[in-house]
Amino acid sequence: MTIVSVCSLKGGVGKTSVVLGLASAALAKGVPTLVVDLDPQSDATLALDVDAEGATNAATVLGAPRRSAGKLVPARSNWAGDDESAVLDVIPGSPDIAALDRPSGSERTLARLSTALGALSQYRLVLVDCPPSLGTITRSGLGASHRAIVVTEPALFSVTAADRALHAINDVRRSSAPALQPLGVVVNRFRERSPEHKFRLQELSDMFGPLILGPTIRERSALQQAQGASQPIHRWPGEPAHELAAAFDAHLARILRANLRGTRGRAAALAVPS
């Protein structure tokens, strides 16, 4: 199981849209996936068309004592429809989680999500939608993850926020999550005809080099239309939707390759005689 946090330290860059695009790609490829909605706004939960009744929400996961971790009950996304072989589940978001967000949290608090996810084995991929701030909630998501994706857009303030986010990931890795690695930066809402966007994309490339993950996610109204209809982008008609779906397919493939490399690396390390 690969756990990937999707984060940003600036709101409004389309972080949740990237989570939903990756979930759509995973569903289309038949990858059993769990989305963990840690954002108090719960937009991912809404777009994934989730009936949260009876499910364990994110506030309960982060607020519950460790002994309750084994009682985690995900909700099913209606994106999966009536196909029993399709697995796309959700730990629904809750506005109550905002009360748990503090500048720092105890080691026990930060470990709750990791403990809860460690009790699950039915998923190949877990996508964690973090809030756009660096408090207890985002640190919990990063601490539970193997990889982290930073979402930005080609604008001045978003560029500086991406830099802060990468530093934050490194801080969490050094302090409490040695297995965590940044997968890279996804540039969202790119307009190919905008000189400013081209300038900022080059600036990002100069700053972060190979951490900039291609392809960029182009600004297309099809993405908002699909989300408004609570539908995966892979099922939305039209060439713009197909273009976006291909971009998310490429990013999903990179996530799965990174997990494969990590597994091989751990196996090789175990094989080295002491």
pLDDT tens figures, 113-156? 998 998 888 999 999 999 998 889 999 999 999 999 999 999 99
**271 within a domain of the structure (yes/no):** no
Domain count along the chain: 1
Predicted local distance difference test score (pLDDT) of residue 52: 85
**117 within a domain of the structure (yes/no):** yes
Nearest to 11 by CA among 103, 101, 127, 131: 131
**Which of 64-73, 154-163, 172-181, 213-222 is predicted with the least confidence, judged by mean pLDDT?**
64-73
Name residue, tokens 């990756």: 22
Domain region containing 85: 2-264
Instruction: Using alpha carbons, list the distances in angstroms from residue 164 to 49, 158, 168, 180, 213.
Output: 32, 10, 6, 16, 17
**272 within a domain of the structure (yes/no):** no
Distance in angstroms (rounded) separating the CA atoms of residues 15 and 44? 10
**39 within a domain of the structure (yes/no):** yes
Distance in angstroms (rounded) separating the CA atoms of residues 61 and 91? 9
DSSP β-bridge partners for residue 33: 88, 125
Percent of the chain with pLDDT over 70: 90
Taking 50 as the threshold, does the pLDDT of residue 271 lie above it? no
**Residue 177 CB burial class (10 angstroms; 0-12, 13-18, ≥19):** buried
**233 within a domain of the structure (yes/no):** yes
Inter-residue contact 61 to 72 (CB < 8 Å): yes
**Which of 13-17, 43-47, 82-86, 116-120 is predicted with the least confidence, judged by mean pLDDT?**
82-86
pLDDT tens column, 172-203: 999 889 999 999 999 999 999 999 999 999 99
Inter-residue contact 261 to 36 (CB < 8 Å): no
**274 within a domain of the structure (yes/no):** no
**Residue 32 CB burial class (10 angstroms; 0-12, 13-18, ≥19):** middle
Predicted local distance difference test score (pLDDT) of residue 249: 98
CATH of the domain at 51: 3.40.50.300
Predicted local distance difference test score (pLDDT) of residue 95: 92
**189 within a domain of the structure (yes/no):** yes
Predicted local distance difference test score (pLDDT) of residue 228: 94
**273 within a domain of the structure (yes/no):** no
Q: State the maximum Cα–Cα separation within the chain, in Å, rounded to a whole number.
A: 57
The pLDDT confidence band at residue 99, using thresholds 50, 70 and 90, is confident
